[in-house]
Structure 1
């Protein structure tokens, strides 16, 4: 009797597991269909938006609002009469990938007026900060740029620099 009962329970468990797997498969199919439907709706909405923008531009051009001299750009005049232009100039003393706003080389201005060891610690902190920065991408800092290539400060071979132990022995 116990064997029969065990077989019935095992068979019942197998049927339940098969039913759960079937439900999971059905659920996946439904989810896939829903996702495809969402993607179709998004594509349709994007297409409608681009069409509406094109129509708006066309209407604007027909109404004569757009000027031919600006090639579709708006001429924004400010108080001084000049239009806004991005400057191509780099800030002097700021590295290419420096996102700290130039504070990496300046030291930030904190800790001035301290005496002794604290000032020494601050200088080493400033050096580390100028090397590695305060966050952001570091890869752009390791680039050869004209400022650093032409800087020969580290190659000064005067008598005051060099190995001090070797000078004492001579």
Structure 2
């Protein structure tokens, strides 16, 4: 049983290494969302799939590989309304339950929840990368005056090429 678990862990790690390396090599800027995996694991229906995906390991690999390859990793704050923000007009919906996978904005644009969130995260990450945070105007309906980019101090060795 231990060998089977070790083989599965090795395969998962191999897939994550290949994915993170491909993402970092093909893109100058990688944008990810800062998620609280611990809170997501409390959802009984999603917990197994989330833990199998090893999101924390993927983020760790992206962080150090971006530093190795000289790429930029932008981490968008978890409170940024990426799913609820209309990519066409910029309106933020009040509520959007998890079971709603597609929604239509008042402007007439129809959005797939995940595709819309990915586009909004990319736009926020590229804006933060190019001009600093706060490029998009804060909407009153976002209910947070927080930054879209997570403000973390970088390690002292971040960005220094290894010899």
TM-score (norm 2): 0.21
Task: Determine which structure has the larger strand proportion and give its number.
Answer: 2
TM-score (norm 1): 0.21
Q: Which has the higher contact order (CA 8 A, sep 6+)?
A: 2
